[in-house]
Amino acid sequence: MNKAKALLLIADGVGDRPIKALGGKTPLEAAVKPNLDKLASESECGIMDPIAAGIRAGSDTSHLALLGYDPYKYYTGRGPFEAAGIGMDVRKGDIAFRCNFSTVDENMVITDRRAGRITSGTDQLAAAVNGMKIDGVEVIFKESVAHRGALILRAAGLSAAITDTDPHHEGFGVLTSEAIDPADAASAKTAKAINEFVHQSYKILKNHPVNKDRIAQGLNPANIILPRGGGIGPNIESFESEHGLKAACVAETGLINGVARYVGMDITVVPGATGGLDSNLMNMAKAIIEQLQTHDFILCNVKGADLGGHDNNPQAKIDTIMKLDEMVGYLMANVPAKTYIALTADHSTPCELLDHSGDPVPIVIWGDDVRVDKCERFDERSVTAGGLGRIRGIDVVNILTQLMNTQEKFGA
């Protein structure tokens, strides 16, 4: 008898609200997606609140929940996951931040939070700021995918209890980080170091050769680095020790790899998996099939739809959904026997909001012996009639492990 396996496939930010330009449909409802609909028609379907009803989930907190870890207990901030995901050494007492390469004008007003979604030269920009010392605080910075990066502050007596420098919207000035509790010396010390880092990043990067070349090409320069989401690395038991399953992650971004790394999953580097709209999802699908040969559980995150939501670009979401459709068709035809596929999202990113919302997301669970219901389409409204009903993200691993028959019985 083959050992059961599972794939948890996350279509990042794919959920949406009805869009007038699409005739009142969501991108999932408007897209041509025969394989996704076939998957739903052969699955038990429902809707899911990644954290709880109405809670606007981040990708970090939702992935913790989807892997069975209560984010209210384990979440300390996004930064440690972002840093760990790109291979940085986050030590006890370090304060880690996620960062954006951004564009500001001469008045320090943000004109592009993602520096034109820069895709090259960030390694050179990172090298220019890495290793500086600020009042005895060691600065460790590394580029991630596209406009993203991660920052570690290393010194005694630091705290993550500070405010962000990134206002999260264009047209606003760079914020001054402050201690959440002004009387806390550790927070004040950390905020001061962050503000100086931001100032130094602008001073160093504004005339960097990479940015001079970008300006000459009519591109937005990556002339400042904006940290946010600071936190101390959490103490989390491994996924294998919690569930008895050897797990791997196939993802495009440092954040998701960081969450996976923290729970002991093997990280898979996939050629062409950029985290952008150009990401090669078929290469990711092939990597999943390869990893299923040696692992019991695979986490996969596909980022593209989330980008479309943040950019108010419904067509980008539709394009990603159609690429996901091809990916899912390949997976259905090639996964090993006795493999369950759970397809869902980590949150909704409605185009009209340009950000995450608290709307529930569709979820379907596919496998040989699931209780197939009458749903025939994979979208936000069709799945509401399914047998799963409305569940929470933290329920998903329990549902999968009981199907896999690897879960211990609760009680006699």
From start to end of 115-163, where are the E strands?
Answer: 133-134, 137-143, 148-154
Per-residue model confidence (pLDDT) at position 135: 94
Distance of CA 40 to the CA centre of its chain: 24
pLDDT in tens, 325-366: 999 999 999 999 999 999 999 999 999 999 999 999 999 999
Per-residue model confidence (pLDDT) at position 99: 94
- CA-angle at 367, arms to 393 and 325, nearest 5°: 75
Task: Give the other-Cβ count within 10 Å of 371's Cβ.
Answer: 10
Most distant pair of Cα atoms in the chain: their distance? 72
Distance of CA 341 to the CA centre of its chain: 19
pLDDT in tens, 197-217: 999 999 999 999 999 999 999
Per-residue model confidence (pLDDT) at position 227: 96
Distance CA 78, CA 280 (A): 26
Which of 168, 47, 152 is CA-nearest to residue 114?
168
Are residues 29 and 379 in contact, defined by beta-carbon separation less than 8 angstroms?
Answer: yes
Which residues, other chains included, contact 366 with Cβ-Cβ below 8 Å and sequence gap of 6+? Answer: 39, 42, 43, 332, 340, 341, 342, 343
Residue 1 has pLDDT above 60, yes or no: no
In angstroms, the first-to-last Cα distance of the chain is: 26
Tell me the pLDDT band of 289, cut-offs 50, 70 and 90: very high
Q: Are strands 5-11 and 297-302 parallel, antiparallel or unpaired?
A: parallel
pLDDT in tens, 298-333: 999 999 999 999 999 999 999 999 999 999 999 999
Per-residue model confidence (pLDDT) at position 254: 82
pLDDT in tens, 236-250: 899 999 999 999 999
Are residues 373 and 44 in contact, defined by beta-carbon separation less than 8 angstroms?
Answer: yes
Per-residue model confidence (pLDDT) at position 79: 87
Residues in a beta bridge with 298: 7, 248
- Residue for token pair 């569940």: 391
Residue 260 has pLDDT above 90, yes or no: yes
Residue 399 has pLDDT above 80, yes or no: yes
Residue range 5-75+236-403, CATH number: 3.40.720.10
Per-residue model confidence (pLDDT) at position 370: 97
Share of residues in the chain with pLDDT > 90 (%): 90
User: Mean of the pLDDT values across residues 87-113?
Assistant: 93
Per-residue model confidence (pLDDT) at position 229: 87
Exposed, middle or buried: residue 236 (CB in 10 Å: 0-12, 13-18, 19+)? Answer: middle
Are residues 108 and 173 in contact, defined by beta-carbon separation less than 8 angstroms?
Answer: yes
Question: Which part of the chain is CATH 3.40.720.10?
Answer: 5-75+236-403
pTM (two decimals): 0.81
User: Mean of the pLDDT values across residues 86-101?
Assistant: 90
Residue 107 has pLDDT above 60, yes or no: yes
